[in-house]
Chains A and B, each alone.
Chain A
Amino acid sequence: MWVPVGVWVGMRPGVAQIVQPVAQFLAAFPANLLFPVAVFGIVTFSLRPDIWLSPLMILGTQWYILFNVIAGASLMPSELRNAAQNFQVGGWLWWRRVALPAVLPYYVTGAITASGGSWNASIVAELASWGDMRVEAHGLGAYIADATAAGDFHGIVLGVATMSVFVVVINRLFWRPLYYYAERKFRLG
C-alpha cells in the first residue's frame, strides 16, 4: 500500500525532503505506545483479538517500507525517468516496467527491516494488557508470556527456541532468496 505513496513522494524532491524525516521519525516510534488505545478499542467494541491485534504489528512495519521506497524512488537516475517520459510510458505500464522494478530492492530491504521489528511486536502484541484490561490472541507470543507469568522455565525455553528457529527459517527460506533476487535483477548498473 505504501509503495505508490513512496514512489510518488520520492519522485518529487521537494515533497520527499519534508516527508522522509517524518517517515523516519514514525518508524522509530514504538508501536507499544498505541497499545492502550488499541486494547481499549478492542475491549469496548468486543472485537476478535486474533484479527484486531494485527494492525498493531503492521503499524510498526509500514514506516520502514515507506522510507525505503521513498529513498529508492528518489535515487532513480533522472535519465531513466526522462526515457520513460520520452517514450510516453504511462499508467499501469509505467508501474509495471519502470516504477515497481526500480523500487523493489528498496522495498525488500524495508520489508526485511520491518519483519524483524514486526516479529518482536507480534510476540508482544499477541498479549496486550493495559491495567486490568487484557486481550489475548492465540500463538507463540501468548504462550511465552503465559509461561513467563507462570514461572514455567521449560515452557519459556521451548517458546524462545521455537521463536528463534522460526526467525532463522523464515530468513533463509524467504527473505534471503527474495533479497538476492531483487539485488541481482533490479539493482542499477
Chain B
Amino acid sequence: MPNANFGSVDRMNDSTLLQASDIRMAFPKPDGGELLVLDGINLELREREIVGVLGRSGSGKSTLLRLIAGLAAPTAGHVSYLGERVVGPARGIAMVFQSFAIFPWLTVFQNVALGLEAQGLPRPEIRQRSLAAIDMIGLDGFESAYPRELSGGMRQRVGFARALVVHPNIMLMDEPFSALDVLTAETLRTDFLDLWAEGRMPIRSVVLVTHNIEEAVLMCDRIVVFGSNPGRILAEIKVTLTQPRNRLDPGFRELVERIYVEMTARPAGAVPSRGGVGLSTVLPRTSSNLLAGLLETVAAAPFNGSADLPKIAHDLQMEIDDLFPVAETLQMMRFAEVGGGDIRLTEAGVAFANAGVDERKRIFARHLLTHVALAAHIRRVLDERASHVARKSRFVDELEDFMSEEAAEQTLSAVVTLGRYAEVFAYDDDRATFSLENPV
C-alpha cells in the first residue's frame, strides 16, 4: 500500500485505472459529533484485475464503492480515475447492485439499453450493442420480459448486462451474489469468471465487494480485508491460485484460513486485555440459541473445545456475518477465546456446554453480570428503584454518549436477548420498559 500520497495523481503509472487516496468518510451525528465510517483508505486498481473488498457488514465497504462510483463524496481524501478526480458518476464506471436495482417497468431490453440511451447513441447502435450484451450474459430470448417474470438469478443477469453494455473500464459489484440462493449464485459466479477468463467482456477491471470469504478467494486476484469501526484496511492479500479455482484445493483452504486469521486478529487482541466490556461497546445482534449451539458444537467431538473458524463456518453453513457476532459475544462473556482463526472454549464455556438447563442459566447470568457492563448497569438500576421498573429510553440516551442511535438500539436489543435468557431482568416491548418481574 502506498503511504506517501502527495501528488498521487501524477505518480500513477500507466496500468493504474483508479486510485483512492487517504479516504476518510464521516457522517454527522445528531448530538453534533461524527460517526467515522472509513478512515485512511488507500486502494489502487490496476489493469486486468479483480480486486475483492472483503469485510463484515458495517465495515464501510459498500460506502467505499459508492465513493468510487461518484455517488457520494468523501469527507477527506480523493478518488481519481484515469488520472482525473472523481466528482460525480463517471462514464466508464458501471455498477452491479446487491438488490439488482433494475427498473420493474422496463423490459429486459429497455433496462439494458438505458445506459446507452443516456449516452445519446444512435438507435441502431443501441439495439445492436444491447442485444450483444443480452446474448453474452445468457438472457437470449428474454428481451421482452419484465423483471417480475424473471427469477432472482435472471434479474441479476440483467444487472450484469446493463453494466457491460456501456463498455465500462471498471465494473463495481456490490455483493452481487448475496441475494441469490447458493446454487444460482455459484452458477452466476462461474459464468462471470468464464467470460472474464476468455476476455470477452468489454471491461478492464473489477471491484467486488463481499462478506463471503470463499467468494473472494474464488474470484479475486487481490483481496483487501476490511476491519470495522471505523472501516479500515487490515490486510491486503494477493491470490495467485490459477483459475478455475477449486474450493477443496489445499492452497484454497489455506488462504481462507489465513483470511480468518486476519479478520479475527484485532478484536481478539483488544478485548481480553481489558476487564470485561464497558458501556461504550456495541453489542452484536445474536440469539441465545446460536450462542448455546456454538458452545455445544465446539465442546463436542471432533472439536473437543477448540475449533477452526472456517471449518465451523463450513460445517454449520454460516457466513462470517452470522458466525462472527456469535463468536464475539462468547468471547465478550468469557466463554471462549477467539484469535488466529480459531475459537477455544474457556473452562466456563466447557462447563456451560456440559450443564443442564438450570445450571446453564446460572452460569450465563453470572457471566453476563460480571463481563457485560450494560447488563450489570441495567440490573443495578432496577435493583435500586423501589418500583423495579426502568424505561428503555433512559439507557438509549446513556448509550448515545458513546455510539450512534442505531448502534444503541442494536446494543439494547442484544442485551435484552441476553438478559431474558439469563433471567436477570425482563423487558416489556409494548411499554418499552425493563423490570425485575419475570413473566410466568
Tell me whether A153 is interfacial, beta carbon within 8 Å: no
| Interface residue stretch chosen among A38-46, A77-85, A124-132, A141-149 | A77-85
For this complex, into which size category does the number of interface residues on chain B fall?
Answer: 20 to 34
Q: Which residues of chain B from 136 to 154 have a CB within 8 Å of any chain A CB?
A: 146, 148
- In the assembled complex, the CB of B213 is this many whole angstroms from the nearest CB of chain A, namely 24
Contact partner of A188 (CB less than 8 A), chosen from B104, B115, B118, is: B104
| With known contacts A87-B118, A90-B118, A97–B91 Cβ distance under 8 A | no
| With known contacts A88-B89, A88-B91, A89-B118, A80–B103 Cβ distance under 8 A | yes
User: Which A residue's beta carbon lies closest to that of B100?
Assistant: A79
- In the assembled complex, the CB of A92 is this many whole angstroms from the nearest CB of chain B, namely 11
Q: Are B104 and A186 in contact (CB under 8 A)?
A: yes
Contacts of A77 in B (CB 8 A): 99, 101
Q: Are A83 and B166 in contact (CB under 8 A)?
A: no
Q: Are A87 and B103 in contact (CB under 8 A)?
A: no
Q: Are B110 and A79 in contact (CB under 8 A)?
A: no
Bound state CA distance, A65 and B149, in angstroms? Answer: 30
User: Which B residue's beta carbon lies closest to that of A80?
Assistant: B101
Q: Which residues of chain A from 89 to 116 have a CB within 8 Å of any chain B CB?
A: 89-90, 93, 97-98, 101-102
Q: Are A87 and B99 in contact (CB under 8 A)?
A: no
**B contacts with A: majority SS:** loop
Contacts of B93 in A (CB 8 A): 86
Contact partner of B101 (CB less than 8 A), chosen from A79, A186, A187, is: A79
| With known contacts A97-B106, A101-B103, A101-B105, A85–B114 Cβ distance under 8 A | no
Residue among A87, A186, A187, A189 with the most chain B CB within 10 A? A87
For this complex, into which size category does the number of interface residues on chain A fall?
Answer: 20 to 34
Residue among B102, B118, B146 with the most chain A CB within 10 A? B118
Contact partner of A86 (CB less than 8 A), chosen from B69, B105, B110, is: B69
Contacts of A93 in B (CB 8 A): 114, 117-118
Tell me whether B71 is interfacial, beta carbon within 8 Å: yes
Residue among B93, B99, B105, B148 with the most chain A CB within 10 A? B105
9 contacts between A and B (CB under 8 A): A77-B99, A79-B101, A86-B94, A89-B114, A90-B118, A93-B114, A97-B114, A97-B117, A187-B104
| 13 other A-B residue contacts (CB within 8 Å) besides A83-B95, A88-B115, A97-B106 | A79-B97, A79-B98, A82-B69, A85-B71, A86-B89, A87-B114, A87-B162, A87-B166, A89-B115, A98-B103, A101-B103, A185-B146, A186-B105
